[in-house]
Amino acid sequence: MGILNIVTYIPLVGAILLLFFPKNNPAAIRWTATLVAFADFAASIVLWTGFDPKASGTNIFQFTFTRDWIPSLGVKYAFGVDGIAILLILMTTLMGLIAIVSSFTAIGHREKEYYVLLLLLQTGMIGTFCALDFFLFYVFWEIMLVPMYFIIGIWGGPRKLYAAIKFFLYTLAGSVLMLLSILGLYFYNSTGIPFLGIKGLGNPATFSVLQFHEIGHTIPPDLQFWLFLGFFFGFAIKVPMFPFHTWLPDAHVEAPTAGSIILAAVLLKMGTYGFVRFALPILPDGTRQLVSWVVGLSIIGIIYGALVSLVQKDMKKLVAYSSVSHLGFVMLGMFALNPMGVKGSVLQMINHGISTGALFLLVGIIYERRHTRMIAEYGGLAKQMPMYAALFLIAALSSMGLPALNGFIGEFTILLGAANRSLVWAVFASVGIVLGAAYLLWLYQRVFWGPLDNPANRAVPDVNGREKLLMAALIACMVWIGVYPKPFFDMIEEPVNYVIKKVDPNYFAAAPATPAATAPVHEAMK
């Protein structure tokens, strides 16, 4: 069977099971969905405990499961995960559980379809992280679009149709361009493209990601440039990088809370995961040719996202734009192309999922009570909802990178990695951190402090037990990563080295010449 198949298909089986439930018993549907999501979370924990972080080289991909799928095309059903994928899968199952539990009272109609779609989405997301065959990867990647489209479109806000279609088309446009790059790789590995004078390697036709990792560096630089561009559109739209981010605020604002949580925590990571798993190791030349452009766009994204967050009147939109800024950090760290930067970048993917997921959850909690997200409607909430205020403060501090919470570890590592490449990058990125503190603290100030002068806020009840439980889980993760990140760094150590060896083969050869200051800090980070 393979444990990866179990983790991937538990939600699918649950979704099919739910189809047979009567529509008029939402409680049973909710609890079954919760149970399924919990089972999946438990299965992913089992997966984690069986993982060996010490394995290196191509052995980093563990729990592999390979079967023929379409033999005449060389398409295989190939699963396998490394430390990066396992962390993302853990986050997916955790956030999937949280998304389902957070919807208990928020979703009031068509519950059955809702939970079925959430579970389908989860299968799609986990499958994407597991796939080691490009064809399979693409199939899972596209499968995710459909449930998310329905979640935004049916349970979303006033402009849900517009947001849902924009999300779908934008992402689809990017992914079909990625498909062309995948085809380019496929033909380069086998028969070549005679018409363009590109000679193939003559290998048996395959979509195996590991095979492309092997042959990537032999691809001529011109071709690498175009292939990288195709991947770039596919992944950058998903991340989303400036200037491809415009679908994000719409999708986030209109999506129901659970949709926003999943979108921010997992779907955006598909893009960054795509870069670190495929674009960087397969196309080292293409990466190096375009590194300054990508970094430039990341820095613009960091500062632009933060500045736009600063002026938002809607809390959810503020958090959405803050994602643009945070994902800019992730991209910056990754394109520093050194172990420190990539490690920070991978960890920051997790951190952003947890912190931003928490913020969306909190915004959803208050929205459910007051049916408005306008900052101006609030003020002095700390008096009325002290517990909520405390939870919000922790989530905000984690998001802005306060030491001892998760965000700090990620951002700091990214800054180290970036500074190692260029001090200018780090300086610009630091501006983003300062701005990040500004918009979050200002938001906090306007919503929670001051007089409680809006009468509508006087009757709002504080968080209930279910919401406390959800937040407790997220805060535990924040503190864990903030205080003791070593297990997480250990998990991604070898996978990151693997990527660096592919993208910059000279990096480790020249290792003794790197500044001595890096080593101790690096040790300290562990």
Is beta strand 198-199 parallel, antiparallel or unpaired with respect to 192-193? antiparallel
Supply the minimum distance, in Å, between the C-beta of residue 302 and another protein: 29
Quick one: tokens of 453? Answer: 């002068």
Residues in the chain: 526
Supply the minimum distance, in Å, between the C-beta of residue 201 and another protein: 14
* CB-nearer residue toward another protein: 87 or 270: 270
Supply the minimum distance, in Å, between the C-beta of residue 161 and another protein: 6
Supply the minimum distance, in Å, between the C-beta of residue 140 and another protein: 8
- The upper half-sphere exposure of residue 473, i.e. CA atoms within 13 Å in the direction of its Cβ, equals 19
* CB-nearer residue toward another protein: 67 or 371: 67
Question: Using a CB cutoff of 8 Å and minimum separation of 24, what contacts does 49-57 make?
Answer: 50/3, 51/81, 51/83, 51/86, 51/491, 53/83, 53/490, 53/491, 53/493, 53/494, 54/494, 55/494, 56/494, 56/497, 56/498, 57/498
* CB-nearer residue toward another protein: 91 or 107: 107
Per CB under 8 A, residues contacting another protein are: 69-73, 135, 138-139, 142-143, 145-146, 149-150, 153-154, 160-161, 164-165, 168-169, 172-173, 176-177, 179-180, 183-184, 186-187, 191, 193-196, 226
The full DSSP string for 1-58 is --HHHHHHHHHHHHHHHHHTS-TT-HHHHHHHHHHHHHHHHHHHHHHHHT--TT--GG
* CB-nearer residue toward another protein: 153 or 380: 153
* CB-nearer residue toward another protein: 154 or 402: 154
Is beta strand 62-70 parallel, antiparallel or unpaired with respect to 198-199? unpaired
Supply the minimum distance, in Å, between the C-beta of residue 10 and another protein: 18
* CB-nearer residue toward another protein: 158 or 512: 158
What's the gap between Cα 366 and its chain centre? 24
Diameter over CA atoms, the chain: 74
Supply the minimum distance, in Å, between the C-beta of residue 183 and another protein: 4
* CB-nearer residue toward another protein: 55 or 177: 177
* CB-nearer residue toward another protein: 120 or 350: 120
Supply the minimum distance, in Å, between the C-beta of residue 14 and another protein: 18
* CB-nearer residue toward another protein: 171 or 323: 171
Contact 349, 249 (CB under 8 A): no
Supply the minimum distance, in Å, between the C-beta of residue 193 and another protein: 5
Which residue in 255, 337, 262 sits closest to 298, CA to CA?
A: 337
Side chain identity at residue 489, one-letter code:
F
Supply the minimum distance, in Å, between the C-beta of residue 164 and another protein: 8
- As a whole number of angstroms, the distance between CA 314 and CA 299 comes to 24
Q: Which residues of 38-56 are buried (b: 16+ CB within 10 A; e: fewer)?
A: bbbbebbeebbeebebeee
Quick one: tokens of 446? Answer: 């306007």
